[in-house]
Structure 1
Amino acid sequence: MTLLIRLAAVLILLVLTVIALGFYKFNIAGDDLYIKENDMVRPLAPFEEGARSVMMRLFSLDTGHSFKITLPDSNSAVTLTGFNKEPSLAVGAYQDKEIRGEVLLDYLRLTPLNLPGNTGTTQFAAPFAVTTQGTGVFWYLGMFRLDDRSGSITHLDSQYLGDRVVIQAISPDIPFDPPHRITISLRTLAPEQPMATTPGQETERTFYVTRDTIEVSASR
């Protein structure tokens, strides 16, 4: 009888040992799985400088073509070569005769436009600002076309939005049928508001868009 009791105790001990080892192995495997899954999470690419890094960050294109914005009041093309981290702007410096400044593209508000006849290209609108040595920050709505194969970008047209405005949203009509319209929601300075204060007057601007132009429409 004593022998049977001893054998039963040994058997129970073996079963408990197997269960414990299995539980330990499961937890180790779970830890390994957690590490592998988290190894797949990568931080956002750093804000590297250079025209190639702008194309990579904005369009995931490793191309020799650069993103150039044409100054609205001249034929000078300004290459975007870096980023401001706060706010999220792509930046390019320029000198046009005696005037120097920066062009600032609000790339978080880059808005694709599903216009007909754009096979092989991507057309989009995006706001950008032009600064000078003065205090003005002159905002425009630009329209661009990206060649999906070559990675080249053409700046098609621009419309003036205002000095030191705060752009809140760009909204294409839904459904986006002819006449194709987009609406810009923004805040501007009230007539009596000091220039140094934050714009507080909400307004909307509406534009017709075609494959090559932006045309001013009446406000909604």
Structure 2
Amino acid sequence: MKLFIRVALVLGLVFLAVIALGIYRFNFTEDDLYVRENDMVRPLAEFDGGAQGVMQRLFNLDTREQFRIRLPDNNKAVTLTGFKEEQHLAFGEYQDEVVRGEVLLDYRKLTSLNLPGNAESMQFVVPFAVTTQGSGVFWYLGMFRFDYQTGAIAHLASQFLGDRIEIEAITPKEPFDPPYSVTLALKTRTQEQSMAEAPGEYMERTFFVTLTSILPSSSQ
């Protein structure tokens, strides 16, 4: 009888030990899975700031080259150094004598152009705006060339679009063959509207593009 009791006690202790080990292993596995899952869903790195961060975020490039936009009025180069997240704009600040302002790049509408003779680079158009201390926000369509080898971006040309307009889309001609062109869908104000009102008139503008220029259609 005593032997039976002893055997029962030993089996009970072994059973409890197995249960305890199972609980420990379960908790360890859950913790380990939690760490691994959180590593996998770790959020993307925040924008570090500066010109190098702009190039890395827009073009996935770790380069010392900068994205510079030339002011249409005086050819002054303005470097993009940050982002306005809510408006989806990259921006750079400038000062031209007593005038201060910003250059704003609508990077979501960056449109590549499959032009011939560009084996070593990519040509693209993208709208940008220039602001001053006044209320104007003057939008332009810029043409740029991105060099695959060096990562350098050259600002080739610009065309004025309007003050405080809304650009909805940029569409290359299909099929994209000579004469090469892109069409902008945008909203502007009617003559009856004040500048304080949202643009309400829909229109389209077409521009012809070459390796070095962007020109408005003669019908505009």
Please indicate, yes or no, whether the TM-score normalized by the shorter chain is above 0.5.
yes
1:120 deviates by: 1.4
Asked if the contact 1:140–1:158 (Cα under 8 Å) also holds between the matched residues in 2, the reply is yes
1:167 deviates by: 0.5
Find the aligned partners of 1:172 and 1:199 in 2 and give their Cα distance: 24
| CA shift in 2, pair 1:44/1:166, >3 Å | farther
Residues 116-145 of structure 1 deviation map (CA, whole Å, 9 limit, x = unaligned) = 001111111000000011110000000000
Matched length: 199
SS at match of 2:122: strand
Aligned twin of 1:170: 170
- TM-score, length of structure 2 as denominator length: 0.82
Gaps of 5+ in 2: 1-21
Find the aligned partners of 1:91 and 1:219 in 2 and give their Cα distance: 33
Find the aligned partners of 2:33 and 2:112 in 1 and give their Cα distance: 39
Find the aligned partners of 2:29 and 2:207 in 1 and give their Cα distance: 58
SS at match of 1:62: coil
Overall identity of the aligned pairs, in %: 61
Could you say what the CA RMSD is over the residues aligned between the two structures, in angstroms? Answer: 2.4
Find the aligned partners of 1:156 and 1:42 in 2 and give their Cα distance: 39
**Aligned ranges 1:142-181 → 2 under 5 Å:** 142-181=142-181
SS at match of 2:118: coil
Structure 1 runs, 4 residues or longer, greater than 6 Å off: 28-35
| CA shift in 2, pair 1:31/1:86, >3 Å | same
- TM-score, length of structure 1 as denominator length: 0.82
Aligned twin of 1:65: 65
Find the aligned partners of 1:136 and 1:43 in 2 and give their Cα distance: 37
1:97 deviates by: 2.0
Find the aligned partners of 2:62 and 2:108 in 1 and give their Cα distance: 20
| CA shift in 2, pair 1:123/1:33, >3 Å | farther
Gaps of 5+ in 1: 1-20
Residue type of the alignment partner of 1:177: D
SS at match of 1:73: coil
SS at match of 1:51: helix
Find the aligned partners of 1:113 and 1:145 in 2 and give their Cα distance: 10
1:200 deviates by: 1.0
